[in-house]
Amino acid sequence: RADVIDGEAVAAQVRETVAETVERLQSAGVTPGLATVLMSDDPASETYVRMKQRDCADVGIESRHVELDTDAPQSELFETIEELNDDPAIDGILIQRPLTDSVDEPAALRRVDPAKDVDGFHPENVGRLVTGDPRFVPCTPLGIQRLLVEAGVELPGADVVVVGRSELVGKPLANLLLNRGDDADATVTVCHSKTDDLAAHTARADVVVVAAGVPELVTGEMLSSGSTVIDVGINAVGEGDDRKLIGDVDYESASQVVDAITPVPGGVGPMTRAMLLKNTVQAAARQADVELETE
Ligand code: NAD
């Protein structure tokens, strides 16, 4: 049976390093600050924002929350973003997505100062990732890369198949692993909903990362022994007491075949949260011109 890659344990290490960095910044007179902006009635988004604030408190990052009415004009959101851009106490700005429908979301993300864009969604940060000079990398891909490194996967030269081409996960992950470096230099294939014969790709990969949002899309039959599987999917299935979260990989059949696999929950999810903290302290260090040792 496959080894289980413990995202909670790796995330705890990341948080510990972040907490140490916060202490070092504080001794240099800097307290990192993250602003979260919510303009949505989506209960899941409200929960995510609360979790992010709690995560910040645990490591000594100050957080400030701004909540806007969903029927407020778009200009109010833009003004809020401008104020946060100009506020020296705020190092990172997180616009919780999805924003309410009446708002032009890409326009809102473009308003965030790229130096405070800890989610890595501003086109300037996307461009820097693609051109091999990353500043802020989106948290989920960053967490996945760290999990692969911690699991001992030799990424240089590895055949990595990414299932999903979203701007949030698939595309930035493909770019990250394609860049140069000991924790990258992979041969990356990106599959998506129009891919012909997904199984032919997944079966020959050393690493399969599935971010499709389709419950149990990838099964053991589509995978090979010796491979490592990262399951990004979070799908709620069942009702009432039977309600549970499952991934985009059929864990039971996959774990009979592959070498190592992430569970859902407890794999990529905690890493995404931890990487937001890491990006925030890096933003604070850069803005205060404090040199941090790289890990
Ligand atoms: P998305 O819906 O934006 O993108 C899904 C991608 O999967 C698309 O590019 C699509 O082409 C591809 N796809 C869909 N069906 C497919 C199929 N049958 N075969 C091959 N490709 C297919 O989703 P997203 O934002 O990238 O999120 C993907 C999943 O990851 C969701 O379940 C989401 O909840 C989860 N997620 C988890 C975390 C985390 O921290 N664990 C973070 C972000 C997203």
What ipTM describes this predicted complex?
Answer: 0.99
Binning pLDDT at 50, 70 and 90, where does residue 1 land? very high
On the question of a common fold for 21-131+271-284 and 139-267, the answer reads yes
Q: How far apart are CA 166 and CA 140, in angstroms?
A: 12
List pLDDT tens digits, range 3-44: 999 999 999 999 999 999 999 999 999 999 999 999 999 999
* 295: confidence class by pLDDT, cuts 50, 70, 90: low
Look up the pTM and report it: 0.97
Give me the sheet containing 92-95, strands edge to edge. Answer: 62-67, 33-38, 92-95
Q: Judge whether 152 is annotated as a binding position.
A: no
Q: Is 135 helix (H, G, I), strand (E, B) or coil?
A: coil
Residue 290: band (very low, low, confident or very high) from pLDDT cuts 50, 70, 90: confident
CA dist 63 and 183 (Å) reads 31
Omega prior to 123 cis, within 30 of 0: no
Annotated active-site residue in 55, 91, 96, 206:
96
For ligand 1, atom 5, which residue shows the shortest CA distance?
A: 212
Q: Is 166 annotated as a binding residue?
A: yes
Mean pLDDT within 212-221: 98
Q: Would you put residue 273 in left (φ > 0), alpha (ψ -120 to 50) or beta?
A: alpha
Q: Indicate if ligand 1 lies below 6 Å from the C-beta of 233.
A: yes
- Whether 259 has a pLDDT exceeding 80, the answer reads yes
Residue 69 has a pLDDT of 97
Q: Is 60 exceeded by the pLDDT of residue 267?
A: yes
Question: Does residue 61 surpass a pLDDT of 70?
Answer: yes
Q: Measured in angstroms, how far is the CA atom of residue 31 from the centroid of ligand 1?
A: 35
Inter-residue contact 187 to 158 (CB < 8 Å): yes
CATH number at 21-131+271-284: 3.40.50.10860
The pLDDT of residue 50: 96
CB 140 less than 6 A from any atom of ligand 1: yes
- Nearest atom of ligand 1 to the alpha carbon of 212: 7
Percentage of residues in the chain having pLDDT higher than 70: 99
Token pair 């911690």 in the structure block, residue: 150
* Side chain identity at residue 237, one-letter code: V
- Does residue 293 carry a pLDDT above 80? no
Mean pLDDT computed over every residue of the chain: 97
Is residue 192 within 6 Å of ligand 1 at its C-beta? yes
User: Is residue 291 very low, low, confident or very high in pLDDT (cuts 50, 70, 90)?
Assistant: confident
Residue 176: is its pLDDT beyond 80?
A: yes
- Model confidence band, residue 135 (pLDDT cutoffs 50, 70, 90): very high
The encoded tokens of residue 58 equal 């645990």
Half-sphere exposure of residue 118: CA atoms within 13 angstroms, side-chain side? 31
Residue 228's pLDDT is what?
A: 99
**pLDDT at res. 54:** 97
Catalytic member of 55, 91, 113, 119: 119
pLDDT at residue number 209: 99
Tokens of 170: 């698939």
Residue 100 alpha carbon to ligand 1 centre in Å: 20
Ligand 1, atom nearest to 267 Cα: 41
CATH number of 139-267: 3.40.50.720
The whole-number pLDDT of residue 188 equals 98
- Cβ-based neighbours of 128, under 8 Å, separated by 6 or more: 134, 135
Question: Does the pLDDT at position 214 exceed 80?
Answer: yes
Which residue ranges make up each domain of the chain?
21-131+271-284, 139-267
Residue 77: phi, psi to the nearest 5? -65, -45
Q: What are phi and psi of 228, to 5 degrees?
A: -120, 135
119 flagged as catalytic: yes
